[in-house]
Amino acid sequence: MMKIVAGLGSIDEYIPYVQAGADEFFCGYVPASWTEKYGTLQALNRREVMNVNVQLGSMEDLKILKNMMDCYGIPVKLTFNSLFYSNEQYKEVAEIIERCMNVGFSTFIIADPALIVYVRQQGIRNCRIHLSGEMSEINSLFLKNIAQFDIERVIFHRKNTISEMKSCIVQCKNQIPEYEAFMLNELCHFTGAYCNSLHCDELCHLCHVPYELGTYDETEQKTEGKLVVAEETFLEDAEIYVTGATGCGLCSLYQLEQAGVTHLKIVGRGNYVDCERQDIAQLKKALNILEEIKENRENQSCISQMPCSDRGYERDECNSMRFKERIQEELFHGKCSKNCYY
Amino acid sequence: MLTDSVSMIPFALLSGFLYCRDEEVIEVRITELAENGFCFRTAQEVDSIEKIELHFYEEQDKKFRVIAIDHPRSLEVSSDEFSYTYEVQVHGLDEVKREQPCISDAKSKISASTTMYRVAVQGLIQQYYHYIQLKMSGDDATLSEVYTGYPAHLDEEITKNFVKQRQAWLRETFDMQIKEKDTDSTKIAGIDSYKNLEHSLLKDCELAIQLDHSTYYEKYLNHPIADFMKMYWEENAFSNHWLSKQTVTRLYIGNEFCHNLFPDWNQLICMMEKARSEGLDVTISFTYLREELLSQTEQGINQLYDWCKKMNFPIELVINDWGMLPLIQKKTDLFTPVLGVLLNKRRKDPRIKYKAKCDKELEQFMCNSLNNDFYQEHLQEKYGMNRYEYESCGYPIEIPKGRHSLHIPFYQTNTSQYCPLYARCKEGRRGKQSFVNGCPEYCSEYVFSYPDHLHMVGRFNSLFGYDTEILGVNSLLPYYVEHGIDRIVMNFM
């Protein structure tokens, strides 16, 4: 079964999320010394805020988290996924990574190719690297190239098609063993690797600034008729929990597994604890439905009670449709957000 | 017992350090904060704390105030299988102070009383609640206005015609240029001295233009370079600027941000043939490389290489995806790879002046990974990359040694591989994006228009900012030319 990877905003979330069904966690760690030196102007990872609990800020909390990991056996990886660092920061980040390793954390999510080069050049041993979803474009040529740096996992960014992921996995499986895909929340309008604008407390994300559809010039419109003229609709902030309200890939689980994806990411650092717990539980439920479909695929007929082949479908295609139907019925109860990742 | 305590104030606003007898320093999370004390937690029992430092973030000064408590009276209040929580009582320390100072401002080294701690706590809690209150109101603009002076009231002024909007921005630039002749408007330290060097410094600097969408591809193919350039400067309302009097010697062909705006391979060859016959050098701009487009791109690269070989015409390729490099690995006799804007990561945002208000804060943005020797050497040795593409983006950039390019006056801030403009035009929702191949180029007619004062536009699949100073402040371009820029690439979007 594919594993559920959930985000931690604080160590207090570890146990409730384990109980909800998480198989692995990721979280940020920003030492106070970094915050005091660089603030949010040069963040250590992509949670560039001070006023919200979105990551860990003390080494002692990391040690407590390690105690929890030892007890529950659910691993945590740490994110150092800023798109770039500068000058002496490479040395500082490498030192932080080594300190984290000394207390028992061995896996790090990195987005900056220069940091990967630096970490390997410094010979930091036993440091496992997961390529962040904020890394530049993922394609098999790039993956084969970066595999020389001993990469354990690729986290595909949000705007990948399943067929592209499959192609990458097929070609790189021998060099990179694990592949993670985004599953729930925060379907950004722009690609993370190319999002260079501010993410801070004081200003909204640049993509949230007011805008209107305008024209390039007042020339005759060549694509007239193709344009959907309706006013753009925006999702209101949900007052009640809706699975995948801001981004969802649940319907694609069957295809993702077929493609070779091994891990599923729930974006959630800083989310309400109860929402994240429900996200984990919903994803667990979806994975159980997937297992049922897979177990029955050899001996169960199609949705229409007719063999797949008679209806012109391959078995996998038919099972995928069957899976989607059950997800809609049993998880969404007709309240699908239609904010699909894939 | 703590009175009216606040739990879990974010660590970035408040952190704690325990100084132990064995000289170990332990970084802890403050789990509760009150005027009469606080709680912290540890992974193991601690019993030898000589001093505790609390670091309070003070929003107004953007600094941390450090309060040190010597010989704290800590009391373990709870423990579980993972952690120990301690409570430190602060009230009553004034009495102890008679014998020895218990609280001091660690940075100023001024002995203080319990009052100092209480004031710091009150300030932090007030500041934190103020932020939460504003955030919960859901009004981002007001929050920005309060915290940064961002002029939220101007957000309603949006010119929905990009050409008009751009003309207004350029007028602002020209006005700035006129004013600058009499006054020193630049606030960037060290750059003023370049003001008087004026344009003579640019004599050894190459001038290039970017052809990045089909309208330009066609216009270039249909007009001799001299006519095309005249049209280009006029269309972009730039004919009166001194830069337009310089000779363009290089074309950048292709779009660094959108795969659908790369020219058809045959059209590309035609443009290159024309450029060659007109004595122009050529740089081909590639964007990210989608897995689905690998074989198509590989074929195109081979076709391009064959043509260059036949014509003995070496070119540069702007690389914006590491996956491109294996495709040109054995073709470096004619192809010189150049590191593109999408791989030259940098904080870029037209609102940066509101976030970083002083020169010292702006200086934090000057460098990135490319200012490091180890990375420069890696790029050179591994990929033969020596030239990096930069954008002027509203604050000074420290250019590393070498010969690099500067794109002006627009700079990219955000790009989506699934086009938001396509999604808006096709689906009615900017967020309903999917992979687009075979695009009708809605961007030839539409843009996302943003508030005029922000100087930004949603163009193609990206957001771009307009650098208001690079063409207006006379000292900026000479400064860059003295510091490693030997090519200016014009792009008016």
Cβ contact B323–A142 (<8 Å): yes
Between A242-256, B108-122, B438-452, the lowest mean confidence (pLDDT) is in B108-122
Cβ contact B415–A66 (<8 Å): no
**Which stretch of DSSP H or E encloses residue B28?**
strand B25-34
**Confidence class of residue A221 from pLDDT cuts 50, 70 and 90?**
low
- Looking at the fold, whether B210 and B88 belong to one and the same domain comes out as no
Asked if the structure places residue B294 within a domain, the reply is yes
CA distance A280 to chain B (A): 23
Kindly list the residues from chain B whose CB atom is less than 8 angstroms away from the CB atom of residue A49: 12
pLDDT in tens, A223-233: 554 555 555 55
pLDDT in tens, A160-179: 999 999 999 999 999 999 99
Compute the average pLDDT of residues A140-156. Answer: 97
Residues 159-188 of B with CB under 8 A from A: 159-163, 165
**Minimum-distance CB partner of A214 among B11, B426, B447:** B447
DSSP classification of residue B321? S
pLDDT in tens, B35-47: 999 999 999 999 8
Between A22-36, A42-56, B81-95, the lowest mean confidence (pLDDT) is in B81-95
Asked if the structure places residue B145 within a domain, the reply is no
For residue A118, pLDDT beyond 60: yes
Q: How many CA atoms lie within 13 A of A221 on its CB side?
A: 11
Kindly list the residues from chain A whose CB atom is less than 8 angstroms away from the CB atom of residue B375: 114, 117-118
Q: How many CA atoms lie within 13 A of B156 on its CB side?
A: 1
Write the CB contacts of B352 (distance below 8 Å, at least 6 apart in sequence): A198, B362, B365, B394, B395
Residue of chain A whose Cα is closest to the Cα of B346 = A196
Burial class from Cβ neighbours inside 10 Å (0-12, 13-18, 19+) for residue B394 reads buried
| Cα dihedral B425/B428/B431/B434 (nearest 10) | -60
Q: Is B438 on the interface with A (CB under 8 A)?
A: no
- Looking at the fold, whether B101 and B210 belong to one and the same domain comes out as no
Choose among B236, B232, B235: nearest CA to B252: B232
**Confidence class of residue B100 from pLDDT cuts 50, 70 and 90?**
very low
B63 phi and psi angles, rounded to 5 deg? -135, 165
Task: Tell me what percent of the residues of chain B surpass a pLDDT of 70.
Answer: 91
For residue A2, pLDDT beyond 90: yes
Q: Please count the helices (runs of H) and the strands (runs of E) in chain B.
A: 14, 21
Cβ contact B325–A145 (<8 Å): yes
Compute the average pLDDT of residues A78-97. Answer: 96
Check residue A318 and give its pLDDT.
Answer: 87
Tokens of A185: 């929340």
Q: Is B158 on the interface with A (CB under 8 A)?
A: yes
Choose among A166, A183, A218: nearest CA to A23: A183
CA distance B79 to chain A (A): 12
Compute the average pLDDT of residues B86-112. Answer: 54
Kindly list the residues from chain B whose CB atom is less than 8 angstroms away from the CB atom of residue A211: 158, 448-450, 458
- Looking at the fold, whether B64 and B211 belong to one and the same domain comes out as no
Q: Is A238 on the interface with B (CB under 8 A)?
A: no
**CA-CA distance, A132 to B27, in Å (whole number)?**
27
> Is-cis flag, bond preceding A75, omega within 30?
no
Check residue A308 and give its pLDDT.
Answer: 65
Phi-psi region of B394 (alpha: psi -120 to 50; beta: other; left: phi over 0): left
Cβ contact A86–B369 (<8 Å): yes
Task: Tell me what percent of the residues of chain A surpass a pLDDT of 70.
Answer: 89
Highest mean pLDDT among A288-297, B58-67, B206-215: B206-215
Kindly list the residues from chain B whose CB atom is less than 8 angstroms away from the CB atom of residue A35: 11-12, 15
The SS3 assignment for B397 reads: coil
Q: Where are the domains of chain A?
A: 3-190+243-332
A82 phi and psi angles, rounded to 5 deg? -65, 155
- Looking at the fold, whether B88 and B189 belong to one and the same domain comes out as no
- Do residues B468 and B188 make contact, with C-beta atoms less than 8 angstroms apart? no
**Minimum-distance CB partner of B414 among A167, A207, A232:** A207
**CA-CA distance, A290 to A327, in Å (whole number)?**
9
Asked if the structure places residue B142 within a domain, the reply is no
Kindly list the residues from chain B whose CB atom is less than 8 angstroms away from the CB atom of residue A112: 345, 369
Write the CB contacts of B243 (distance below 8 Å, at least 6 apart in sequence): B207, B471, B488, B490
Q: Is B131 on the interface with A (CB under 8 A)?
A: yes
The SS3 assignment for B459 reads: strand
- Looking at the fold, whether B119 and B171 belong to one and the same domain comes out as no
Residue of chain B whose Cα is closest to the Cα of A226 = B426
Check residue B186 and give its pLDDT.
Answer: 47
Asked if the structure places residue B154 within a domain, the reply is no
Q: Burial letters for B214-227: b for 16+ Cβ neighbours within 10 Å, e otherwise?
A: bebbeebeeeebee
**CA-CA distance, A139 to B298, in Å (whole number)?**
13
**Minimum-distance CB partner of B57 among A50, A139, A194:** A50
Choose among A200, A197, A214: nearest CA to B457: A214
For residue B375, pLDDT beyond 90: yes
Kindly list the residues from chain B whose CB atom is less than 8 angstroms away from the CB atom of residue A208: 140
Asked if the structure places residue B300 within a domain, the reply is yes
Give the number of domains in chain B.
Answer: 2
For residue B61, pLDDT beyond 60: yes
Domain boundaries, position B40? 6-136
Cβ contact A189–B420 (<8 Å): yes
CA distance B193 to chain A (A): 26
Cβ contact A209–B450 (<8 Å): yes
Compute the average pLDDT of residues B107-129. Answer: 80
Which H, E and C letters describe chain A, residue by residue? CCEEEEECCCHHHHHHHHHHCCCEEEEEECCHHHHHHHCCCCCCCCCCCCCCCCCECCHHHHHHHHHHHHHHCCCEEEEECCCCCCCCHHHHHHHHHHHHHHCCCCEEEECCHHHHHHHHHCCCCCCEEEECCCCCCCCHHHHHHHHHHCEEEEECCCCCCHHHHHHHHHHHCCCCCEEEEEEECCCCCCCHHHCCCCCCCCCCCHHHCCCEEEECCCCCCCCCCCCCCCCCCCCCCCCCCCCCCCCECHHHHHHHHHHCCCEEEECCCCCCHHHHHHHHHHHHHHHHHHHHHHHHCCCCCCCCCCCHHHHCCCHHHHHHHHHHHHHHHHHHCCCCCCCECC
Check residue B111 and give its pLDDT.
Answer: 44
| Cα dihedral B407/B358/A43/B144 (nearest 10) | -100
Q: Is B277 on the interface with A (CB under 8 A)?
A: no
Q: How many CB atoms lie within 10 A of CB B6?
A: 17
The SS3 assignment for B57 reads: strand
For residue B408, pLDDT beyond 90: yes
**Confidence class of residue B99 from pLDDT cuts 50, 70 and 90?**
very low
**Confidence class of residue B185 from pLDDT cuts 50, 70 and 90?**
very low
Compute the average pLDDT of residues A256-264. Answer: 97
Compute the average pLDDT of residues B5-17. Answer: 96
**Minimum-distance CB partner of B148 among A59, A202, A219:** A202
How far is CA A78 from each of CA A2, A30, A83, A104, B358, rounded to the nearest angstrom?
20, 10, 15, 11, 33
**CA-CA distance, B463 to B98, in Å (whole number)?**
62
- Looking at the fold, whether B172 and B97 belong to one and the same domain comes out as no
Compute the average pLDDT of residues B52-72. Answer: 92
- Looking at the fold, whether B206 and B108 belong to one and the same domain comes out as no
Kindly list the residues from chain B whose CB atom is less than 8 angstroms away from the CB atom of residue A117: 374-375, 378
- Looking at the fold, whether B91 and B177 belong to one and the same domain comes out as no
For residue B466, pLDDT beyond 80: yes
- Do residues B485 and B476 make contact, with C-beta atoms less than 8 angstroms apart? no
CA distance B182 to chain A (A): 34
- Looking at the fold, whether B315 and B207 belong to one and the same domain comes out as yes
CA distance B248 to chain A (A): 25
Kindly list the residues from chain A whose CB atom is less than 8 angstroms away from the CB atom of residue B155: 209-210
**CA-CA distance, A279 to A6, in Å (whole number)?**
9
Asked if the structure places residue B35 within a domain, the reply is yes
Between A72-81, B9-18, B186-195, the lowest mean confidence (pLDDT) is in B186-195
Q: How many CB atoms lie within 10 A of CB A49?
A: 17
- Do residues B390 and B487 make contact, with C-beta atoms less than 8 angstroms apart? no
Cβ contact B414–A215 (<8 Å): no
pLDDT in tens, B293-335: 999 999 999 999 999 999 999 999 999 999 999 999 999 999 9
Residue of chain A whose Cα is closest to the Cα of B8 = A53
**Minimum-distance CB partner of B448 among A67, A117, A211:** A211
Cβ contact A227–B462 (<8 Å): no
**CA-CA distance, B70 to B483, in Å (whole number)?**
51
Check residue B165 and give its pLDDT.
Answer: 97
- Looking at the fold, whether B368 and B419 belong to one and the same domain comes out as yes
Asked if the structure places residue B242 within a domain, the reply is yes
CA distance A136 to chain B (A): 7
Check residue B97 and give its pLDDT.
Answer: 43
Between A98-112, B305-319, B355-369, the lowest mean confidence (pLDDT) is in B355-369
Compute the average pLDDT of residues A51-57. Answer: 92
Tell me, which fold does domain A3-190+243-332 have in CATH?
TIM Barrel (3.20.20)
Asked if the structure places residue B316 within a domain, the reply is yes
Asked whether the CA dihedral A165, A154, B258, A40 is positive or negative, the reply is positive
How high does pLDDT run on average in chain A? 90
**CA-CA distance, B90 to A157, in Å (whole number)?**
49
Tokens of A76: 């945590």
**Which stretch of DSSP H or E encloses residue B110?**
strand B110-112
Q: Burial letters for A90-128: b for 16+ Cβ neighbours within 10 Å, e otherwise?
A: bebbbebbeebbeeebebbbbbbbbbbbbbeebebeebe
- Do residues A165 and A259 make contact, with C-beta atoms less than 8 angstroms apart? yes
Residues 133-192 of A with CB under 8 A from B: 136-142, 144-146, 159-161, 163-164, 167-168, 187, 189-191
Choose among A234, A218, A133, A129: nearest CA to A176: A129
For residue B110, pLDDT beyond 50: no
Check residue B280 and give its pLDDT.
Answer: 98
**CA-CA distance, B477 to B242, in Å (whole number)?**
12
Q: Is A27 on the interface with B (CB under 8 A)?
A: no
CA distance A104 to chain B (A): 13
Cβ contact B425–A223 (<8 Å): yes
Tokens of B428: 């009615």
The SS3 assignment for B213 reads: coil
Mutate to test the interface with A, among B325, B369, B442 (most CBs of A within 10 A): B369
Check residue B95 and give its pLDDT.
Answer: 42
How high does pLDDT run on average in chain B? 90
Check residue B333 and give its pLDDT.
Answer: 97
**Which stretch of DSSP H or E encloses residue B172?**
helix B162-180
Q: Is B349 on the interface with A (CB under 8 A)?
A: yes
Kindly list the residues from chain B whose CB atom is less than 8 angstroms away from the CB atom of residue A56: 11, 29
Q: Is A51 on the interface with B (CB under 8 A)?
A: yes
The SS3 assignment for B488 reads: strand
The residue ranking higher by pLDDT, B47 or B382, is B382
Between B94-108, B266-280, B459-473, the lowest mean confidence (pLDDT) is in B94-108
Cβ contact A84–B345 (<8 Å): yes
| Cα dihedral B74/A10/A206/B143 (nearest 10) | -40
Choose among B18, B1, B15: nearest CA to B120: B15
**Confidence class of residue B199 from pLDDT cuts 50, 70 and 90?**
low
What does pTM read for this prediction?
A: 0.93
Kindly list the residues from chain B whose CB atom is less than 8 angstroms away from the CB atom of residue A219: 445
Check residue A186 and give its pLDDT.
Answer: 87
Compute the average pLDDT of residues A292-308. Answer: 67
